Chain A
Amino acid sequence: MPNYLMTVVEPSTGPGLAPGQLEQIMKDVDVVHREMHDAGIWVFGGGLHPPATATTLRPRDGDVLVVDGPFAEGKEHVGGFSVIDVPDLDAALAWGRRLALATTIPIEVRPFYDTSA
């Protein structure tokens, strides 16, 4: 079955979460993740530390430059992701919808290349 990457699109600026809100989100996301496991579609995933913890490696003239920070500073960044294994986009979107409601922020659904074909 093909895999889909579900990226959690986190805003980089703006008001933070209210007290208790993060705990609720973690709980809700956990429920969805557990159901993904139970449905046998879960491949891999997790939450990421903030972009400031990133290190970017840029190839330059045969060498590689080590740069402190993410590959792009944007209004949004990847907050985490899940990889799921489902038969088609409708199935992926159905799970993505649940993740969007649980995380309260956008979820980008993107297909992996199908290497089996």
Chain B
Amino acid sequence: MPAPDVERVFREHYGRAVAVLVRLLGDIDAAEEAVQEAFLTAVRRWPTDGAPPSPAGWIVTTARNRAIDRLRRESTRADRSRKAALLRADDAPQEGGSVPDDRLRLIFTCCHPALSTAAQVALTLRLLGGLTTAEVAAAFLVPEPTMAQRLVRAKAKIRAARVPYRVPTEAELPDRLRAVLAVVYLVFTEGHSASSGDRVVREDLCAEAIRLGRLLAELMPDEPEVSGLLALMLLTEARRPARVGPSGELVLLADQDRARWDRALIAEGQTLVRECLRRNQPGPYQIQAAITAVHSAAATAADTDWRQVVALYDQLMAVAPSPVVALHRAVAVAEVDGPAAGLALVADLDLPRHHLLPAVLADLLRRLGRAEEARAAYDEALALAGNAADRAFLRGRRARLG
């Protein structure tokens, strides 16, 4: 058998192995250490000995044995009782992976509300995604020592405060799941925003978020918002090839070359949206996915079913009202009833320090032929826009006013 790509096995199975070992050892650091040792052994052995029949099972078993060896060497009283527990743990998966609940437990522990959002994101990427501390730091433009300290603190809190390692009860689940989905979506939007930093690392973030989304969908097939989030990410990711122009500038949805959209991702996302709709338990991610699906279904921007988009934004305003949602709704209304109708809706919005509001305002004023006011609104948007791509786009629009 040819030696398998240990790196690939690592990406696919690191989170699973850590999750199993956390349950067996009751300690995240010890679990990470054991799994890393197992992968090091794999790197040494697999190229010469060949891969085991079940690489994932081999990693878990090897990690468990390494943990037992270590506890034998360092036997303190607490360690001995832990070792006894380990040896009793005959439910430790030998072949073909693990109890899926372990990864679910780990996700809920990583995204526990007693941890800051930044810590939740870092832990999730590190433990479930298998990203190195350096990779997580680079992705969030934080110095590596800062990220290392963030991870150490979060793990210390989990240990000292005894954040439980379990899937929340049904009563707690809606709140707790919201936090998990928010972390995954935050990873995705951070990768998608392309605000700054290393493009490659950021695309990795999108891929990682989708991988986590797929994992959640597999582990919680009965949660429509989980499918909704996955669909939203797939449909958004599908547009990526058309989203940035040759010189790195942002290309608006209306101007994108739709031939460059990823048809396979769109088909998968649309199927998920349809399945969600059938369940009739709408939530914010499902509705946003449905909106994105409507855009994906249009062959050209002119073919967009804007009435459907407005109807979906009405739904979104009902379940998750926010000024940003209202702004997007106003944009859709402008497509159906004209820019004056959109302008009337935008005028009432309170969205301070956000460049999106003056940017939309500027566009509506431009379409109404009110160039002078449009120019002032573009200036305001330019002053607020944080990233280079957004600013370049706004400058271009302003210049075209003449």
**Chains A and B belong together in one complex:** yes
Decide: A89 and B164 in contact? CB cutoff 8 A. Answer: yes
CB of B160 within 8 Å of the partner chain: yes
Decide: A87 and B162 in contact? CB cutoff 8 A. Answer: yes
- Where chain B touches its partner, the secondary structure class is loop
CB of B161 within 8 Å of the partner chain: yes
Decide: A111 and B164 in contact? CB cutoff 8 A. Answer: no
CB of B114 within 8 Å of the partner chain: yes
Decide: B78 and A89 in contact? CB cutoff 8 A. Answer: no
Chain A positions within 8 Å of B163 at CB level? 88-90
Q: How far is the CA of A109 from the CA of B163 in the complex (A)?
A: 12
Chain B positions within 8 Å of A88 at CB level? 162-164
Interface residues of A in 65-100 (CB under 8 A from B): 87-90, 92-93
CB of A50 within 8 Å of the partner chain: no
Q: How far is the CA of A2 from the CA of B163 in the complex (A)?
A: 12
Number of contact residues on B: which range applies? 10 to 19
Chain B: minimal CB distance from A36 (Å)? 18
Chain A positions within 8 Å of B78 at CB level? 117
Decide: B161 and A90 in contact? CB cutoff 8 A. Answer: no
Chain B positions within 8 Å of A110 at CB level? 161
Output the nearest chain B residue to A112 by Cβ-Cβ distance.
Answer: B160
Chain B positions within 8 Å of A113 at CB level? 160
Output the nearest chain A residue to B172 by Cβ-Cβ distance.
Answer: A90
Output the nearest chain A residue to B112 by Cβ-Cβ distance.
Answer: A89
Output the nearest chain B residue to A1 by Cβ-Cβ distance.
Answer: B162
Q: How far is the CA of A2 from the CA of B162 in the complex (A)?
A: 9
Chain B positions within 8 Å of A109 at CB level? 161
Q: How far is the CA of A92 from the CA of B157 in the complex (A)?
A: 14
Chain A positions within 8 Å of B168 at CB level? 90
Chain A: minimal CB distance from B166 (Å)? 8
Interface residues of A in 29-52 (CB under 8 A from B): none
Decide: B114 and A93 in contact? CB cutoff 8 A. Answer: yes
Chain B: minimal CB distance from A61 (Å)? 34
Interface residues of B in 143-185 (CB under 8 A from A): 160-164, 168, 172
Output the nearest chain A residue to B77 by Cβ-Cβ distance.
Answer: A117
Q: How far is the CA of A72 from the CA of B377 in the complex (A)?
A: 49
Chain B: minimal CB distance from A108 (Å)? 12
Chain B: minimal CB distance from A97 (Å)? 11
B160, B162, B164, B168 pick with most chain A CB within 10 angstroms: B162
Q: How far is the CA of A108 from the CA of B160 in the complex (A)?
A: 15
Q: Jot down 25 A-B pairs with beta carbons below 8 A, ordered by A.
A: A2-B162, A87-B162, A87-B164, A88-B162, A88-B163, A88-B164, A89-B112, A89-B114, A89-B161, A89-B162, A89-B163, A89-B164, A90-B163, A90-B164, A90-B168, A90-B172, A92-B161, A93-B114, A109-B161, A110-B161, A111-B160, A111-B161, A111-B162, A113-B160, A117-B78
Chain B positions near chain A (C-beta within 8 angstroms)? 78, 112, 114, 160-164, 168, 172
**Besides A89-B161, A90-B168, A109-B161, 10 new A-B residue pairs in contact (Cβ under 8 A), listed by A number:** A2-B162, A87-B162, A88-B163, A88-B164, A89-B162, A89-B163, A92-B161, A93-B114, A111-B160, A111-B161
Shortest Cβ-Cβ A-B pairs, 3 listed = A88-B164, A88-B162, A111-B161
